[in-house]
Structures are given as structure tokens and as C-alpha cells.
Structure 1
């Protein structure tokens, strides 16, 4: 007896760049749902933080500048080149309502944070997936070549649109004079448009390098360049430089003043162009590789690279250099307005009260003390990222072959923690140096340089405690390691905003940064610094002890 058999699914071979059973975008919907599930905590936290921060700032502006006289004083102080560089274009000052103030002082700042959110979403769901090998496994199924990038862009676009809509509804419902519904809709749309631009930028950088950190760092450098171009254009006589920046385009909607929508078309065009470029570049490389070829290494490693500390320093050097340069520029920007601090803040009652509580012999010293908290928090962002690098190495499977040798877990993880602590201290040093040099030039007081450098270094023990918290989470509760981000976020909300919003003192005491003497306004007290150092040492020891007792996550 014979029977005929039929072979199903046999046909012409799939074209390059397509999946068997679908096109280049096959499986995009499934990947979108999967990405949303993975980010079911991260994205809501980002969106709510940006939303609540904007709404609270809008209310604060309405309270701080409640009278025309207060707003006129703000116009006078913000009209200086340094003030415009920190905020936005001069045209907002023509009718400085609470809404115009929000667009002038907040839009450029929050646009940077929205861009950061978008970049992290794209690199997390594209380059990081390739680096860990998950993308290759999925691509072996019915998943098209462009599905990962399309899904990541879809998630980023959805997050930005939700944020824009919530901003529009939230600001429009506050009932603040000068903050109308139409302007609020434009304000939200401007954030969404900028977020789409930097999502497109990340789609390009994810194709250039084989590593997620390199892709993220390059995209963040683009964000930094966009902010610097905007600041340079707004503070100078010729605003042409601002037109080279998508952040400058968003600010030139003149939200709550003229409500011009057309600059957002430039953002959408650039976002579409970058996304298209990302798709095109992805067809010119292999999965897991980058467009930019990797340089061949030396035939023989240097003696330093053969040690755990040398390897950790090599892995961290790019991020450390980026944060160091950024903190130096940030300190210099704040230092450039230090000489004008008294004139800028003399008519703002709540800020005056906050500065009086800090102490010091003058407003400039108290203002410098407040700025130090911001610089220390940014440095804390670096130390959290650096301290959690060991967790990233573990989950990516790169720690396992190292620990299979004679290298102990304590030496391996301790090297990353040591680089985080030393790198954070170095970041504080360069931040204080930039603040001091620019502050000395602004005030004419050369003695500010060593004083502000010392004030910045006083926060080093608080950074070490932050590293210790990350070490404990990594050692004992590795899946909850991301909770270490609570430390810098809480320090900023309570240590900086809490001074203005009059949070109770006990809240500040819950943060390691709240125990640091507020130099240069306050006197140096070594006791809390020594206690913080001992606490940091104990936390690091506890974290390493937990790492030695738990199982390693293997691949």
C-alpha cells in the first residue's frame, strides 16, 4: 500500500531581512506587549515622576510669583545671559505669566529627562537584547529583522504620548492664571515631540556599537549637545544655534505666550528621519554586531588589565568620563550666575527663607550650598549606575567565566564598588572645580575655588553610603537591585525641593545627604562625615557577605 505525503510550509526561501512566515516586521505586536510587560513598573514611574514634578513646579511658580511685581523682578533677573542660558529664549519674558514662566524655565529641563527616558527604552529593548543573546534566540523564530526596533520605537512613542496627554490634562486642570487648556496641550505635545526625536537618535546609536552602554552613552552625548546648543543660542545675541537643537525647537513654540505649533513639525521630521536611518543601518550589520568595527585589542593585555580593579576601571571609564565632563559643565553653569544670586533671589520670599535656614554670611554662600545638593545627586546617579554594573555583568553571563577561575566573588564585586566610590569622589571633585572656577570669575573672589571644591568633596561619604545600599541589595536581594535608585531620587526631592517646600526636618534625616554639613554656608563638622564613612563600610561588608552566600545567576 502506498500513500501520498504532502510537505507543508516548503516554498521559496525567505528574502534577506524577513522572517520565515512573515515580513521584516513579523512579531512586532507580540514584542510590543512583551516590552510593555517588562516595563510595567519602569515606565509608570518615569511618567508619574515627570508629571508630578511638573505639576508641583507649576503650583510653586504660582505661589512664588503671585503678583505682577514678583514676576517683574523675575524678568529682570532671568534676562541676564546666564539666566537665559539656564532657562530659555528671551521672548518668554515679554509676557511673563505663570504659564510663560513654566515654558521658559521648565520645558528645556524636562525635555532632557524625557529624552533620557526615550533613550533608555530604545537601548533596553534593542541593543541590550542583542548583547545578552535574547534577540538572536527570538530571531530564530517567526520574528522579523526590524521587529525589535519597531517594537522599541512603538513603546517609546506610546510612553511619550501618554506623558504628553497627562501633562496637558494635568496642567489644564490646575486653574492657574496664564495656564490655559490650549497652551497645556501644546506643552504636553512639545514633550512628546522631543521624546520622539531622542528615541529616533537612540535607534541610530543602537546600530553603531555592539554594546548597550556605548549606544546609550552616544545618545546621551547628543542630548547634552542639544542642551548646550540651546543654551549658547539663547544666551547670545544670535539665536541661530538654538535652531540646531530639538530642545530649542520645543522652546520656540513659545507655549503659553504665542502657542506656535509649527516648530514641532521639525521635531517630527527629525524623529522620522532618525528612525528611518536606524532601520536602514540595521540591514547593514549582523545581529549582535555594530556598524562601527571594533578595534582589535593588544596581543598582550597590560598588567593593570589583568587585575580585577583594572578590568573594572576599564569597563567604567567611558561612563566616568561622561559624567565627569557633564558635572564640570553643570558646575560651571551654576557658578556663572553665583555673582548674580543675590539680585536674582532677593525678592522671592520662600527662597529667601530657605536660604536663611541654611545659614551663611550671604545669599551667594547659601545658594552655593543648595546647588551642591544638586551636583551631589547627579554624582549619586553615577555611583548607582557604577555599583550596579556588577549585577549587569552577572545577568549577562560575563561574571560566571571570571568567577570560574581563582578570582573570588569579593574581589570581583569589590572592584566594581571601589571604582564606583572612587569615581563618584572624582566626579564631585571636578563638579566643585567647575563651580569654583566659574563662581570665582563671576564674583571676583578667587578664594571660592578651594572652598567650593571642599564643599563638593564633603558629600563623598554620602555617595559611599549610596554605594553601600546598592551593594546590600545586590548581595542579598539581587532582583531588587534597582531599588538603589530611591536614594538619589529621595535626596533630590527632600534635600533640594524640600528646602523650598518646607518639608519636615525628619524627612531630610532619612537621607545620607541630609547629614552632610551644608558647606560653604555652614561650618565643617567631621563627626557626621566619619559616621557616614563607617556606615558605608558596614554596608559594603554586608553586601559582599550576602554575595558570597547566595547562588550566582548563570546562563
Structure 2
């Protein structure tokens, strides 16, 4: 019996080893590929955690200011975009920090985890790189394991750096660690979600989109659940995001929700391994649509570009409509707050409702800049997947291919801006009882189309130069300057460089600035086309 048991144990050990053969080298390779990308993300998230507590102290120096802020956050829209309120310690800087910052950083870290896992799993199969890897002695689960191991290491580093950064501001180190571990725990869960979706669908775009949809649904469920009960209802607990927030850092700390996050992440990894074991290479567990002879004919390169981004446009439109609806519903709460907050009262006295409408519209438009960059920079993925080679093999010029993609991105931006403006207008119009506000805010959102054209032009030249980081740097600047410009005390000349910040409709109609943006967009697109024609296509 002893000899038999030893033989069985040895066989199981060999099987385990063979299934994970090469995982160390693949992890090192993935780390080398992301040696610039990951440190940038880590630095950005860590700096956010370091600066925000000090920014809160500057923004809310008096107890009355913090009480007014707590009243604003307790509105349905405020809770949707922040976190639960536990009924006490609401004016403490630590509690304010955990309440307002945790959700944003959780979403950012989760997006990073999703993109990283899909990049090193399904995207490699789609591009053919995984086929080269599998030609070497590599175990069945080595690639997925390496991707998850990379995300685990990334989140461990993030938890450490964010804890040190938060504690350095004077906040309690234990509660700071709880916030950071909660953020990393949720990111690990959505890394596991991405590992599962990478097995279900055969394209990286759909796999990452599905994981993002799960993230959006989790955020929505958490928000609705916390609106039902400000301390968290039963519905809130259906979202892993709520588990991290329910650790109640800086209020009444408890650690057991973190164990739930760890258990769920592990279960998702096991599920991903089971799905991978039962599928073929370069196939998904869910059947693809395949050929459809009855489908409408794709007319031209522009039609192909529109078709490629159709799913993203639908998903983004729904999300921005709901975000706009939430923003608009906040209008009446801001007006009520003016009765207690002198700063808000002065702003309304100087700018009227239009100042609030302008800020809300700019916040929504800033999100659309990310879509525009994604839509244009998709050309980079098309080159790697072979779509570009197939398109350019015909009578299509590089200039036509690039211009069609930019035009399709702007069509998508138009749809997204319309959806965001319509939602914002409906929310504000219903809250104030002013139906005409619907049209005003819809038009105000569409007025940001020149700004989107400028972003598309920058993305076009970034693609042509093979320096996609330029486009993402601009998008990051637009978002950071708008959301944190005042808290960071950035100089006005720097804030004026943002095309979204320059668009101040409905408070004002900057015709000159909008004209300059259109001209700049055209010039940048032309320069991008010239640069694209001069370089190798692949």
C-alpha cells in the first residue's frame, strides 16, 4: 500500500508540475513587457492616495464645510458615486477619504487587473504570440497562471505603496492598510473575472468588454444597494465592491469582508482553469457568431470601422446615460445645499444654474475622451491581428483607413455625448420641473464634439508615430485637470490647455476656442496621415 500511495503521489506531483511548467519564465516575460506600463499605474494610484487626504483638509477646513459635504454625499447621486455612510464619524478626514476615494481607486485598479489578464491570455492567442509560447515546453495552465500571478504581485505592491502613502499623510496606519488591501482585493476579484471571460470568448476585445461590464454592474448594484440603506443593504452585499467598503475603515474596522474577496478571487481562478481545460486553443467556450450570409453587407472602410466599434458604443452609451441621469438628479440637492453652504451660494449667485450644468457636462465629456482614444488606437490592435493587412491589400490607402477610423470615432463620440447630455437633461429637468432643460443640456454635451475631434487628432498622430502613450497622457491630463485641478491647485494656464475645460457651454459659448479645436484636429489628423504613409504598415 505504501509503494502504491507513493507512486500515486509522485504521479500527481508530475501532473501538477507539467500543468504549470514554465510559469516562472512566463511571469518574468509578462513583467518585462509591462515594465513601463505597470509602474506608471502604480505611481498614479499611489499619488492619488497620498494627496487626497491633504486635499480634503484644504477643501473642507471647517467643521461646517464637512457637515455640508456629508449632507451632499447622502443624496442618492452622491452615494452612487462615493460609498456608504455609516451614520457616525462622517466629518473625520479618514472616513471622508475612505468614502469618496475608495470607489474611484477600486474601479481604476480593477480596470488595470482586467486589462493585464486579458493582455497576457486571450490577446496573445488572438495575435498568435501564444502559439510561439506553446511551441516550448509550457504547461496547460502556465499562461493563465502567469497572468494571474503578475496581477497578484502587482496588487501586493499596490497595497504596500498605497498603505505607506496614506499613512504618510497622518492617517491611522491600520485603517490605511485596510483601505489599500480592500482595493487590491477587489482588483484581484476582477482579475479573476477577466481570467474567466478570456476562456469564454475568443477575442480579447469581447473578453475585456465582458469583464468591464461585470465591473460596471457590480458598481451599479453597490450604488443602488447603498441608496436603499445608506449603511449598506442586502443588495449591496451582492457586489464585491461593497465588501471592501464594508470593511468600514476609519469608522469601525472589521477584517472578515477581506476574506470573502480572497475566497472569491480563488474560486474564479479555479473556474478559469476548469474552462481552459475543456476548450481548444484559440477557441472560446461560448460559440462565436461565425459567418452570417443574411447579415447586411458592410459598405466600405468607414462601415467596417463603425461595425467594429458598435458594441463599445452601445455599452458606453448606456453607461453615460445612467451617469448623466444621476448627475442631473443631483441638481436640486446642490440648490438645497446653497442654503447651508456659503461657497455654493456664491457660485450660484455668480453663475446661476449654468455653472452647475457646465461642470456636470464637462465631467461626462471627460469620460468620452477615453472612448475616442480607444476607438482611434484600435488601429494598433488591427495591425497586430492582421485586419489592417487584409484591408490595405485591396484598393484602400493608408490615408483612407486612418481617416475612416477617426471619422467613425467621432460618430461614436456624437452618440455618446448625445446619450450623456440626454440623461443629464432628463435628470435635471425632472428634479427641477423644467422640461426645457433637457434640450439645453443635450446641446451642451454635443458642443464638446470639437474637443473630441482634437483628442481624435492627437490619437491619430500618436498611432502613426507608434507612441500611443501620447494619447493616453492627454486623456489622463484632461480627466485629472477637470476632476482634481482645483484640489491640486494647478495654474490656470495649464487648466486652459484642456479642450474639455475650454468648452464652457451652456455657461458660455466659446466660438473662438471651438474653432481652434476643429482646425487643430484637422491639422493633427493630416499630420498623422502623412506620418502613417511614411512608416511600415505592420
Deviations 1:502-538 (A, max 9, x none): 321210232222332x1222x2232221221111111
1:491 is aligned to 478
What is the Cα deviation at residue 401 of structure 1? 2.2
Matched, 1:538 2:523: yes
Matched, 1:510 2:510: no
CA, structure 1 residues 216+400, in 2 after alignment: closer, same or farther (shift >3 Å)?
same
CA, structure 1 residues 411+92, in 2 after alignment: closer, same or farther (shift >3 Å)?
farther
CA, structure 1 residues 351+39, in 2 after alignment: closer, same or farther (shift >3 Å)?
farther
Matched, 1:519 2:505: yes
1:8 is aligned to none
Contact 1:77/1:343 (8 A) holds in 2: no
Work out which of the residue numbers 179, 201, 209 in structure 2 matches 1:209. Answer: 201
Deviations 1:309-337 (A, max 9, x none): 11111111111111111111111111111
Secondary structure of 2:187's aligned partner: helix
Mapping 1:270-309, distance limit 5 Å: 270-299=264-293, 302-303=296-297, 305-309=298-302
1:227 is aligned to 219
Secondary structure of 1:240's aligned partner: coil
TM-score, length-scaled by structure 1 = 0.90
Deviations 1:380-431 (A, max 9, x none): 0000000011121112222112211222212222221111111112111110
2:324 is aligned to 331
Q: Distance in 1 between matches of 2:438 and 2:28?
A: 52
Secondary structure of 1:384's aligned partner: helix
Mapping 1:121-270, distance limit 5 Å: 121-175=116-170, 179-237=171-229, 239-270=233-264
Secondary structure of 2:468's aligned partner: helix
For structure 1, the residue ranges without an aligned partner over 5 or more in a row are 1-14
Deviations 1:259-297 (A, max 9, x none): 111111111111111111001100111111100011232
CA, structure 1 residues 22+276, in 2 after alignment: closer, same or farther (shift >3 Å)?
closer
Range moving further from structure 2, 410-419 or 459-468: 410-419
For structure 2, the residue ranges without an aligned partner over 5 or more in a row are 1-10
Mapping 1:51-90, distance limit 5 Å: 51-90=46-85
Work out which of the residue numbers 432, 440, 446 in structure 1 matches 2:429. Answer: 440
Q: Distance in 2 between matches of 1:350 and 1:73?
A: 10
Contact 1:190/1:264 (8 A) holds in 2: yes
What is the Cα deviation at residue 49 of structure 1? 1.1
Matched, 1:311 2:300: no
Q: Distance in 2 between matches of 1:500 and 1:451?
A: 29
Mapping 1:379-458, distance limit 5 Å: 379-458=368-447
Contact 1:64/1:348 (8 A) holds in 2: no
CA, structure 1 residues 75+139, in 2 after alignment: closer, same or farther (shift >3 Å)?
same
CA, structure 1 residues 120+345, in 2 after alignment: closer, same or farther (shift >3 Å)?
farther
TM-score, length-scaled by structure 2 = 0.93
Contact 1:350/1:500 (8 A) holds in 2: no
Deviations 1:184-213 (A, max 9, x none): 010111111111110011010100100001
What is the Cα deviation at residue 338 of structure 1? 1.2
Count the aligned residue pairs. 525
Q: Distance in 1 between matches of 2:468 and 2:158?
A: 26
Contact 1:64/1:350 (8 A) holds in 2: no
Work out which of the residue numbers 343, 358, 361 in structure 2 matches 1:372. Answer: 361
Matched, 1:361 2:361: no
Work out which of the residue numbers 455, 464, 480 in structure 2 matches 1:466. Answer: 455
Secondary structure of 1:532's aligned partner: helix
Root-mean-square deviation (Å): 2.2
What is the Cα deviation at residue 345 of structure 1? 6.2
Deviations 1:200-229 (A, max 9, x none): 110101001000010000000000000011
What is the Cα deviation at residue 108 of structure 1? 1.7
